[in-house]
Amino acid sequence: MHDNRTRTITPDDLPEVITRYLTAHRAHDTATAVTTFTDDATVIDDGNTYQGSAAIERWLDRSATEFTYTIHLTNAQQTDTAHYVATHHLEGNFPGGTIDLRYRFTLRDDLIEHLAIEP
């Protein structure tokens, strides 16, 4: 149970598994990125849900090649030991050209159990 009191933290204070995922994702390193998730993890992105390692790996491969963009971590927050938010500013050749996205992470056993990406 968490008390929902979100506090701002420095990006360096994000758990190692989140940092490893974000670094791999930025580098389009699907093989490393997929290892940061639990076997039964769920990712929600752009209105679609991806459940399990195979579906998440396909999502990572597609998202790495669909658009060209830059991504900058602009804010990090922690609700409790399992819930974190990393806000990113993206600029690229996707519809609209710029967007700020919140990556909402839920951790379990030092891995990502749930990731929701939303504006």
What's the rounded Cα separation, in Å, for the pair 55 and 72?
Answer: 26
What's the rounded Cα separation, in Å, for the pair 26 and 83?
Answer: 21
Domain ranges of the chain: 7-118
Q: Which residues, 6+ apart, have CB-to-CB distance to 81 below 8 Å? A: 107
pLDDT for position 4: 64
Residue among 104, 108, 113, 112 at smallest CA distance from 36: 112
Tokens 């490893």 -> residue:
20
- When pLDDT is cut at 50, 70 and 90, the band that residue 1 belongs to is very low
Class of domain 7-118: alpha beta
Residue among 68, 67, 69, 87 at smallest CA distance from 77: 87
pLDDT for position 3: 54
Is residue 38 within 8 A of residue 108, CB to CB? The reply is: yes
* 35 phi, psi to nearest 5 deg: -75, -10
Question: Looking at residues 15-23, what average pLDDT do you find?
Answer: 97
Q: Is the pTM of this model over 0.85?
A: yes
